[in-house]
Amino acid sequence: MTSKPKHNEFSGQGSMAGSFLLRFVFLLAVLGWVVTGCGNGEPEEPLPKTISLPEDVLRDRSVLDVLRKDTDGDSLEEWVVFYRFDRVNDTGPVAALIYDVVADLKLDLPLVYPYKLRIPQENYLSQVQPEVALIDLLNEPAGATPRKELLFHTENELAFFRVEPTLINQSADEPPVYSCVGFFRSPDGVSYNEGNHEVTVTSRTPYERSQLVARRFYLPSANGYFVPDTTTLLPPTGSKVDFPEGIPEDILDTPYPEKIVLAFYETLGKLDADPAIIEYLTSQAADLFNRGQLWYGSPFALDQLKFAVVKELLYYATEDASQAAVVVVQLVFHNANGDKSPLVEVRWTLVRVDNQWKMDFPER
């Protein structure tokens, strides 16, 4: 493995606006030095001292930005270049390259070498320029130099890359120096929790009717978010049906009975909830609930119940859909001791009372 020269023959800084010019400063001459003319003794213009990545190197690319970051853990900053392809009216997919200064032993000169950021299935990185973060995602082998992973993130995409330490600072990119160890995309949102490395993928499918969402949760293994030696995501560690931004304030007036059922189960275990849990029930069901006689699927007593997680929620219209509906819910209950129930299915009949949907009676 070759290493970078002690004295980097190139340095530069990318601007965040305007032309986004990245300038490599050539140490080819002392400031003020000029080249004399050929035979006539007249001074000529000084040699150019800069190279622009957008104008001189990536002329056929629509460069968005150039960032300086130490992406490979060698204590020297690289150049992260974002550009668009298939561009139409200032829109189009975004891709990225990482340029690094490496030593070429054959030439005995430094090279500015591009490394690709390859996405599974030759996908694009994002639709807008992503933010870049360095995170501690994967543990290094014992005795190895600690290196951080690269995270590119937007509201709809997450891409994780790790650097192969045996390949850095070489003028070669096969196998990849930066390998993708996780990639997530959803038009309804993705998020990353740096504390526990959990990725949440949100989708409105198949809940477009009621504007609810499905959330799936992923945790990495020792090698990332993919099944080893593949680009297939590991199975989600959990899932739930959820409100996009919490229970709406006017939930009792919703025209969708499945929202009433979801709000009821999300309210379980919350003593100060507003609306109170009995407001989702008919008067008969509320009376049974207050006396501890209403079966709603939980194997735990109400005072031991911590929360419930709705896994599936299905709506069925009745013959008189304006006055009655059936909602089938599959869920798991958790108690205060950390125990959880098996998957339970409850079939609720809801009726209209004073122009509001109310949960009337459940069936096993």
My answer on whether 70 and 37 are in the same domain is yes
Could you report the average pLDDT of every consecutive run of 10 residues in the chain (364 residues)? 41 38 34 43 69 80 91 92 87 93 81 92 92 92 84 98 90 92 97 96 93 97 94 96 96 97 96 94 97 96 94 94 95 95 97 97 93
Q: Are residues 158 and 224 in the same domain?
A: no
Task: Specify whether 117 is located in the same domain as 266.
Answer: no
Rg (the chain; Cα; Å): 29
Could you give the 3-state DSSP secondary structure of residue 16? coil
Does residue 192 fall inside a structural domain? no
In a domain, 164, yes or no: yes
- One domain, residues 42 and 160: yes
pLDDT at site 23: 39
Q: Is 68 among the domain residues? A: yes
| Inside any domain, residue 222 | yes
193-212 in b/e burial notation, b at 16+ Cβ within 10 A?
Answer: eeeebebbbbebeebeebeb
Same domain, 275 and 167: no
* C-alpha 316, offset from chain centre: 34
Asked whether residue 294 is assigned to any structural domain, the reply reads yes
Q: Is 278 helix (H, G, I), strand (E, B) or coil?
A: helix
Query: Are 67 and 207 contained in the same domain?
Result: no
- Based on the domain organization, do 145 and 181 belong to the same domain? yes
Residue 166's domain spans which residues?
1-185
Looking at residue 40, its pLDDT comes to: 56
Residue 196 lies in a domain: no
Q: Are residues 151 and 208 in the same domain?
A: no
Same domain (yes/no): 12, 113? yes
Within a domain: residue 190?
A: no
Q: What is the pLDDT of residue 83?
A: 93
Q: How many helices (H) and strands (E) does the chain have?
A: 2, 16
CA distance 49 to 330: 67
The CATH number for 297's domain is 3.10.450.50
Boundary residue ending a domain (229, 245, 261): 245
Indicate if 45 and 130 belong to the same structural domain: yes
The reply to whether 221 and 96 lie within a common domain is: no
Distance CA 345, CA 264 (A): 15
Together in a domain, 288 and 211? no
Task: Give me the number of domains the chain comprises.
Answer: 3
**Cα dihedral angle (162, 164, 168, 173), rounded to 10 degrees?**
-90
Look at residue 43 in the predicted model and tell me its pLDDT. 64
Cβ pair 139, 155 in contact under 8 A:
no
Largest separation between any pair of C-alpha atoms in the chain: 108
Tell whether 194 is covered by a domain.
no
